[in-house]
Structure 1
Amino acid sequence: MSLNSTWAIANRSTQIQRLSPASLAYLGDAVYELYIRSFYLLPPKRSHAYHDMVVAQVRAESQAKALRSLEPHLTSTELEILRRGRNAATGRPKRLDPEIYQQATSLETLMGYLYLTDPQRLNQLLSYLELNPLPQVKDS
């Protein structure tokens, strides 16, 4: 590895550390939804069936539940990222309990952070999720 490569990696790491939790959550929301969409892609369904299944999993209540199931597997660094995400969660929708919103935002923050810093770890944590195939959604 050259000196320039080492500097570039260190610089990227520093830049990632400077990202706000809101920025990480913004990215993490997309990463998590893409994972859920991929999980439910097979067997093939109609678009509205995909939508219903995915929305059920990416809503804040489901994300909070997923976070609780992952917490025993998290490192101290990952727990710190969760704390930063929780503390940055503001402006929640009126229908949500603030704690649920904070947990969902924390999960999204962690997903965004790991996507940028350690994709292997992200995949490992996502594999711990206990996503069961949802009941068949009518394809009419």
Structure 2
Amino acid sequence: MSNIDGNGTHGEELNTWFPYPPSRAAKLIPPIVLAYIGDAIYEVAIRQYLISKANLRPNQLHRTATGLVSAKAQSMIITELDAVLTEEEREVVRQGRNAKSGSTPKNADVLEYRHATALECLVGYLYYTNQQERMAELIGKGIEFMINKP
């Protein structure tokens, strides 16, 4: 495993509780790879949010989660979040949006799919740069937006 600081870690970029750090610094990981991990983290965050609510049945949990993790929902969320992103975060979003995934979206148009990939890329980047509080803040804002949208 490559390392940066000689100790097998990436210094501040390592999530110390996780046993498998990325093989390189987050800025060197391709956006589509950041989106890959960001997708999983985002889905876990959505599931944790839903489970925190009272009296949801498994079928209801699944339907609600599917609505919040869809490309359409993620596209709307990243558009809404743009106003509160830092310049660094906007650059990560831009790179994620422009990343070529090599796959075709099944239930979304190409633009929605690219915006969804951008959100997932941002989540992956924040995760690997050990910015969990910021990641939780942005995901929380996204959930709030979707729950309260007109």
TM range (shorter): 0.7 to 0.9
1:107 equivalent in alignment to 2:122 = no
Q: 1: CA distance between counterparts of 2:40 and 2:88?
A: 22
- In 2, the alpha carbon distance for the partners of 1:56 and 1:46 equals 15
Instruction: Show structure 1 runs of 4+ deviating over 4 A.
Output: 10-14
Q: Is the 8 A contact 1:36 1:58 kept in 2?
A: yes
CA distance in structure 2 between the aligned counterparts of 1:79 and 1:28, rounded to whole angstroms: 16
What are the equivalent positions in structure 2 for 1:1-140 lying under 5 Å apart?
8-9=10-11, 15-41=25-51, 42-90=53-101, 91-117=103-129, 118-129=131-142, 130=144, 131-132=146-147
CA RMSD of aligned residues (A): 2.4
**Matched position secondary structure for 1:43:** coil
Query: How many angstroms apart in 2 are the aligned matches of 1:55 and 1:43?
Result: 18
Q: 1:54 to 1:19 in 2, by over 3 A?
A: same
AA of the residue aligned to 1:128: K
Deviation at 1:33, TM superposition (A): 0.8
Alignment: residue pair count: 130
TM-score, normalization: structure 2?
Answer: 0.76
Q: Which stretches in structure 2 are left out of the alignment for 5+ residues?
A: 15-21
Unaligned runs of 5+ in 1: 134-140
Identity, in percent, stands at 33
The structure that is helix-richer by fraction is: 1
